[in-house]
Every structure is written in C-alpha cells, then in structure tokens.
Amino acid sequence: MAEILTTQAELDEVFARLEKDYGALNNRQQAYAIDEIGRVRSEVTELLAEYADGEGVVQRQQMNRILSDLDVVESNLRQTGELTFEHIVKETSEYTTARLAPVIGVSASAVMGVNQHVLQYVTRRFGEDGLVLSDRVWGLSGEIRDELSTVIRSSIIKGEGINAMIPKIRKVYDNETWKIRRLARTESVTAHRAAISYNAQESEVVEWLQFHHGVKRTDACVNLANHDKYGKGKGVYKTTDTEIWMPHPNCTSYATYILDERWL
C-alpha cells in the first residue's frame, strides 16, 4: 500500500477546499444543464417557421401537424436531458474522486470502479418521489411539451404570428428552468456524497465518516448530525450508510473522513 502522509488536520483542510470548489463546479453544472436543454427553443422556432405562411402566420389547418411534430421535440428533450444529467453525475464523481483518492490511498485501479458505482447508484436510486433519474427527465420533458402545446395552440387560434409566439415559447422554458436547476443540483450533490463514501470504502485508512448538517439546519440533516448511531459520537457513520447521501431535497450537508486511529 502507498504511504499515507495525511493527518486528520490535513484531511479536514482537503475537505474544506473541496467543498468550496465543488460548490463552484455545481453552479457551472446547473448553467450547463439549462443551456443544453434550452436548445429546444430554437428547435421549436424552426418548426413553426416551416409551417408559417409569407406573413409569418401559421394557419389553423396546420395545427394538428405542428402539435404532433412536438413528439420529436419531446423525444429530443428526453435524450438531451438524460445525456446531460449523466454527464453531470460522471463529472462530479470523477472530480470528487480525483481530489480524495490520492490522499487516502485509493489505488488508480480502484478509482474506475468507484466512479462506476457512483453512476449506478445515482441513476438507479429511487428518490422520495418514487422515481429514478430517467423517470424525472421524462416527466420534465413531458411537462415542457404540454406547456408548448398549450401556448402554440392558443396562439394559432388567435391568429398570432411567429414573432408573437417566440417570446411565449421562451417563457415556457424560463418557467421550467428552476426544475432543471434543481435536478442538476440534486443529482450532482448525491453523486458527490456517494463518491466520498465509495472512495472511503476502498481506503484502508478511513473507517468512519463525520456527517455535517447543511447550512439551512433542516430537521432531517440536523437529526442525522446529532444521532450517535454506533456509539462512536454524534454524526459518525459507516462508509456504507446511504441515508447521509441525500437527507432531503436541496440539502447542503456533507461528510468528511475520520482517519483510522491506527494511522494517527
């Protein structure tokens, strides 16, 4: 095994920097998801332009064809959404692992397995809503499509031109961005915490995790932080305890490593 030079104080310092940098990464990921999924706006605009007459107006006779063409838009949304969130989960896992694995002696060969475990866990876990990640992406895509249908239908009935419709389409999308942002945050944070634990499982110097409640001090995570589950102290958990990975939506809690006493 590689020689571990880390002390508890150094390790705490690694986590303090990691949590700060990770916060910035997650902000970038939220913006990325909004941009990627936002490309649907130009797709819808192009679709309308194809059906518009010389005056930029879509005739009622075209309505059914346009609305059924939204099937393609919805399917592209799903595909883009699934790829985007999978990318975010992988990026978070690799980022977290790259920072932690070297300081706790996780071998390069174990790192690939850690990142695979994280991706599997995050994409297959059932959330409080009883859904897995791809279900949530399908739900989101369907909601955007339904809103687009409503807006386009009423505009065509009123005889509005494309120029009047474009800002309404933009608004549909803007109304949904908070859901994209929430999804990007939740999935990434779960991947981050899962990566912290999976790396610890591969390490010989970390046996326990110290859980820290989030800044908002929500009951769910404050209770976890105060709970002495193993008689090892408040907020001390095993590396296999998944209840600390996503205590509640939008939770900012996190865990740090407790170095095994034999290594101190």
199 versus 253: smaller Cβ distance to Zn ion: 253
* Secondary structure (H, E, C), the chain: CCCCCCCHHHHHHHHHHHHHHHHHHHHHHHHHHHHHHHCHHHHHHHHHHHHECCCCEECHHHHHHHHHHHHHHHHHHHHHHHHHHHHHHHHHHHHHHHHHHHHHCCCHHHHHHHHHHHHHHHHHCCCCCCCCHHHHHHHHHHHHHHHHHHHHHHHHHHCCEHHHHHHHHHHHHHHHHHHHHHHHHHHHHHHHHHHHHHHHHCCCCEEEEEEECCCCCCHHHHHHHHCCCCCCCCCEEECCCHHHCCCCCCCCCEEEEEECHHHC
- The binder of Zn ion chosen from 169, 251, 255, 258 (CB under 5 A): 251
Smallest gap, in angstroms, from Cβ of residue 242 to Zn ion? 15
Of the two residues 117 and 212, which places its CB atom closer to Zn ion in the complex?
212
Q: Minimum CB separation from Zn ion for residue 190, in Å? A: 13
Residues 181-220 that bind Zn ion (CB under 5 A): 214, 218
- Our CB check for Zn ion shows the closer of 155 and 253 to be 253
CB of 235 to Zn ion, least distance (A): 12
**From residue 62 to residue 101, what is the string marking binding to Zn ion with x (rule CB under 5 A)?**
----------------------------------------
Tell me the closest approach of the beta carbon of residue 91 to Zn ion, in angstroms.
Answer: 23
Site residues (CB under 5 A) for Zn ion, limited to 220-249: 221
Nearer to Zn ion, 45 or 242 (CB): 242
Q: How many residues bind Zn ion (CB under 5 A)?
A: 5
Report the residue number, 119 or 221, with the smaller CB distance to Zn ion: 221
| Residues within the interface to Zn ion (CB under 5 A) | 214, 218, 221, 251, 253
